Amino acid sequence: MSAADRRSCIEMVREAKASGARRQASCEVLEVSLRTVERWEKVPDQGDQRRGPVTACAHGLSEEEKQAMVKESSKPEYRDLSPWQIVARLADTGRYLGSESSFYRVLKRNDLLSHRHNSKPRVHHRPKDLAARNPNEIWSWDITYLNSPIRGAYYYLYLVEDIFSRMIVGWTIEEVESADHGGQLIDRICQEQGIAKGQLTLHSDNGGPMTGATMVATLERLGVIPSLSRPAVSDDNPYSESLFKTLKYRPSYPESAFSGIDQARQWVSRFVEWYNTEHLHSAIRFVTPGSRHLGEDPAILAKRSVVYEKAKRLNPRRWSGPIRNWSPITEVHLNPKKHQNEIQEEFTIDTPPLPMPRSKVSAVSEAVKPISNIDGGCPKNGLHRCPITNASDSGEGLPMPRNRLSDELRRSPLPSSKLRFERTAAYSASENLT
């Protein structure tokens, strides 16, 4: 770090301390050790004093040998191979330019380690951050397997969910997994929901039915904007994955398999009806997905808020703070970006005044405050103890036994260490005699 950066860091720590923050906390925000800042404060204008090695390694690679490694690695027959394979192939031709670690080090220094082709490597970009503020803006869909009577054969459940209301807007069960069935399902649901062109974004993973030609053509014809997850990243499609877990963890879900496709369709039909009209979803303030999809949740939540306000007025001492938050959720995000806190050049830290330091004895005594036993037993300090029914069994109220050695230590004017040694030897001798 340069001298200017060090001075800037010292000034920011001082400003934070003047605002009431601790130096240790300020250094943690700056990702610098407190001891390092204290060393910088002694000589603030001193820069990096490291000089590096004075002499070169006697048996190190020369520049000509390094250039030979780069030249060989860039040839058409070696440019798509790892250094391990390059060294082995060179050894087959009777040549040795260096070890695998030397090849790695030289290629990394010349930025040739990861990709040495003229073409650019494939890059998987994170899905776009999407936000739904109304129903029928963002749908999420996926396909899951349902066990059939035949081992190795499955029924395929196509399920489409609105992420704003969590309502299942459409589903179908087929014996094969194909883009044709997926396209027909999306076409039917869009007509039922009255989706206009450019209104809807459909998110899915990178499976074959989701990226097939029939599905792509259907989305283009309907004016639906596609959104795809990254390959092998299930977290990019969390709403459908969560819905499938809810479906398969229902108590009525068959433990072995469905007897036929008709039974599977009947069971999923009952599940969809329960999920949309009876299930109180925790992510939308415990209202049903169907009522939220129809816009009925604000009235339901307002009624709950009135009930809680009335309960608080009747018994205010039972409420240490505001009532439960029953306000409607107005925005739902799909694949939001994780915003990292960036350190600005100028900042102030506002912290509450620090409490007075306490002794270790008081802190420990508060930490081990006895907890009353519900069953009427003895007090507990976080340890497992048997309940005591008789006070005499626990020794409660009885005098503590006296120790002759400790009494002599308290009465003697000699240093405790010397007296302890002498009295211990005398006490041991007397015990042996008796």
392-395: Cβ within 8 A, 24+ apart:
none
The neighbour count for residue 377, using CB atoms within 10 Å, is 13
Enumerate the β-bridge partners of residue 147: 154
User: Are β-strands 225-228 and 201-204 bridged in parallel, bridged antiparallel, or unpaired?
Assistant: parallel
What's the pLDDT score for residue 428? 52
A 10 A CB-CB count for 333 gives 12
Q: Where are the beta strands (DSSP E) in 282-406?
A: 332-334
For residue 242, what are the CA distances in angstroms to 36, 238, 239, 247?
A: 47, 6, 5, 9
The whole-angstrom separation of Cα 143 and Cα 153 is 15
Residue 228 φ/ψ, nearest 5 degrees: -120, 145
Backbone φ/ψ region at 31: left (φ over 0), alpha (ψ -120 to 50), beta: left
Helix (H, G, I), strand (E, B) or coil at 144: strand
Query: How far does Cα 124 stand from its chain's mean position?
Result: 21
pLDDT value, residue 267: 97
Tally the C-alpha atoms within 13 A of residue 239's C-alpha that lie toward its C-beta: 24
Output the pLDDT for position 230.
Answer: 86
pLDDT value of position 49:
73
Element at 131 (helix H, strand E): strand 130-132
3-state secondary structure of 158: strand
Please identify which residue in the block is written with the tokens 């009930």. 307
For residue 171, which phi and psi values (nearest 5 degrees)?
-160, 165
Q: Given this model, what pLDDT does residue 232 score?
A: 80
pLDDT at position 359 is 43
pLDDT, tens digit only, all 434 positions of the chain? 778 888 888 999 999 999 889 999 999 988 899 999 998 888 878 777 777 777 888 888 999 999 999 999 989 888 888 899 999 999 999 999 999 999 999 999 988 877 655 666 667 677 888 999 999 999 999 999 999 999 999 999 999 999 999 999 999 999 999 999 999 999 999 999 999 999 999 999 989 999 999 999 999 999 999 999 988 887 889 999 999 999 999 999 999 999 999 999 999 999 999 999 999 999 999 999 999 999 999 999 999 999 999 999 999 999 899 999 999 999 999 988 764 444 344 444 444 444 444 444 344 344 434 434 434 444 333 333 344 334 444 444 445 545 554 455 455 554 444 445 455 555 555 545 44
Q: What token pair was written down for 163? A: 């992420």
Question: What pTM was estimated for this model as a whole?
Answer: 0.55
Which residues lie below 8 Å from residue 252, measured CB to CB, with a gap of 6+? 267, 270
371 strand-pairing partners: 380
Residue position matching structure tokens 């407190």: 34
Alpha helices in 19-126 (DSSP H): 23-30, 34-42, 63-73, 83-92, 100-109
Q: Provide the pLDDT for residue 227.
A: 93
What's the rounded Cα separation, in Å, for the pair 51 and 269?
A: 74
